Structure 1
Amino acid sequence: MLNSLDDRQNSLANDTTDWVIGAFSVTPARAGIVDFVRPYYYSSGAMLFAPGGKAPAGIDSWESISGKKIAALTGYYANHVLSNNFGADLVLAGNQAEAAQLVDSGAAVAYVDDSANLKPAGDLAQIPGIPVLLPTLYGVAVKKGNRALVERLSTALRQMATGGAQSDLARFEQQWFIANGAPPNADLAALLLNPDSTKVSLNAERIATAG
């Protein structure tokens, strides 16, 4: 099992795997170790969730969570930003179901997550109007220098994006992400509109070049 990001990167370097897909975010540091396939097919980031997606009183932005009790998973990558940059009073949980219980019981007013599968979190839904925090692009990674495979996978991804709402990628998003509580993905929607474009959204370009 390739459980960690290091495991995935090492599996490419030692030829255990040919390519890696699935929650593998694109960063300049990783781009120095592996080659990423264009187009980037998805993006994610920290989102704020509440029962039914209804914003708790006084919360309408990330800045407004200062001093508020916010549920988050232990070890979550955004925890230090939530507490240090935005002053959240984090209430830690071991899994989504525990986090949902914290919100339901009043021990926390909202929950932060970037998971596409929110079924364990009960009726928690994304609060509209609050942008994604720390957005990150997802890409397919291959061993550094394997340009032939990069081109083959790039062609395959574009074919899977062809057909708009009827494309394979749109169908996968509906089946595995939206059906499990994730909102529609803006970067995937942009790709479906123009599968042959080498560009990504302005938001995605900023992510891809961020330090």
Structure 2
Amino acid sequence: MPRFSQLAALLVAGLTFATAYAERPYTVGTEATFAPFESLNEKQEVVGFDADLMHAIAAKGGFSVKLINTPWEGLFVGLANGDRDIVAAAVTITEERRKTVDFSEPYFEAKQLIVVGNGSKVAKLADLKGRKVAVQTGTTGDIVAQKHYGKTSPDIKRFESIVLALQELRSGGVDAVIADNGVVRNYLVNNPGAKLKLVDDPSFDKEHYGIAVKKGNKALLAKINKGLAAIKADGSYDRIYAKYFGK
């Protein structure tokens, strides 16, 4: 092969590799046991509010994404070690979490609710004194329970998912569950025979969800914020919100 042809071939190969690398989808860690934010459909694909939101953000931000179901405990570890580029899993923005990850602009307002049986007399957080409560490990509900009971309290039972925590409540293993409003409301709507009700304690603060990237990844964060701003501006966000939560 002539020297010029060899050089041309190398240039084409290099451009092809660079293009393929540039178009690599960003991996998004999401915990698919948190409907309606994220769950698995019959094809084992991640679907839900966060999934739709990430695809819409990516389309407007000029990148593509691949959503990967990841246990909650592994989400931030995966982000730190490079196994995941993004975490989109109904993650509440907190100052403690800001120490290890960077967050997008807020995209959802939430708060904690207490779930109890229909016959329970619990009307506020203080009424849970001396009762056992279930939470999902490492979530804001866990943080609220720790503040109320103490970090090492035996009255806090921790589970890998909210679904498991709610099953424990239904089986009588605990007296209450503390969790995000969106997910527990969705659970009660889809499980009308569960005989559960929600308690809204006025002491619970409003929370905001954010999309997380590895600390210092300003370029990716800028793309996400660009896409998020665009879907809020053109009405796409409102349509996705209405699909899962109504108007």
Whether these two folds match at TM > 0.5 is yes
The letter of the residue matching 2:231 is M
Match among 96, 101, 107 for residue 171 of structure 2: 101
- Tell me if 1:50 matches 2:112: no
Q: Deviations over 1:105-154 (max 9, x none)?
A: xx76x5222151525682323124x2364664321111233323222211
Name the structure where helix makes up a greater proportion of residues: 2
Match among 198, 212, 215 for residue 141 of structure 1: 212
- Superposition deviation, residue 33 in structure 1: 2.6
- Superposition deviation, residue 162 in structure 1: 4.3
Q: Deviations over 1:63-92 (max 9, x none)?
A: 23334x34424857244334349xx99485
The letter of the residue matching 1:12 is L
Residue 61 of structure 1: aligned partner: 124
Q: Distance in 2 between matches of 1:124 and 1:27?
A: 29
Q: Which has the higher contact order (CA 8 A, sep 6+)?
A: 1
Q: Deviations over 1:170-193 (max 9, x none)?
A: 13542xxx8xxxxxxxxxx9xxxx
Aligned partners of 2:91 and 2:211 also within 8 Å: yes
Percentage of pairs with the same residue = 19
- Superposition deviation, residue 21 in structure 1: 0.7
Give SS of 1:126's match. Answer: strand
**Inter-CA distance 25–10: structure 2 relative to 1 (3 Å threshold):** same
| 1:15-94 → structure 2 map (5 Å cutoff) | 15-38=82-105, 40-51=106-117, 56-57=120-121, 59-67=122-130, 69-73=131-135, 77=142, 78-84=144-150, 90=155, 92=157
Q: Distance in 1 between matches of 2:215 and 2:113?
A: 32
Q: Distance in 1 between matches of 2:219 and 2:156?
A: 47
Aligned partners of 1:24 and 1:138 also within 8 Å: yes
Q: Distance in 2 between matches of 1:22 and 1:114?
A: 14
Give SS of 1:60's match. Answer: coil
Q: Distance in 2 between matches of 1:170 and 1:49?
A: 23
Who wins on radius of gyration, i.e. which is larger? Answer: 2
Q: CA RMSD in A?
A: 3.9
**Inter-CA distance 164–20: structure 2 relative to 1 (3 Å threshold):** same
Scaled by the length of structure 2, the TM-score of the pair is 0.49
The letter of the residue matching 2:99 is G
Scaled by the length of structure 1, the TM-score of the pair is 0.56
Residue 112 of structure 1: aligned partner: 177
Q: Distance in 1 between matches of 2:156 and 2:104?
A: 38
Q: Distance in 2 between matches of 1:162 and 1:126?
A: 33
Q: Distance in 2 between matches of 1:161 and 1:80?
A: 35
Q: Distance in 2 between matches of 1:137 and 1:167?
A: 17
Structure 1: gaps spanning 5 or more residues: 179-188, 190-211
Q: Distance in 1 between matches of 2:232 and 2:203?
A: 24
Structure 2: gaps spanning 5 or more residues: 1-68
Match among 176, 194, 198 for residue 126 of structure 1: 198
Aligned partners of 1:160 and 1:169 also within 8 Å: no
**Inter-CA distance 133–13: structure 2 relative to 1 (3 Å threshold):** same
Residue 70 of structure 2: aligned partner: 2
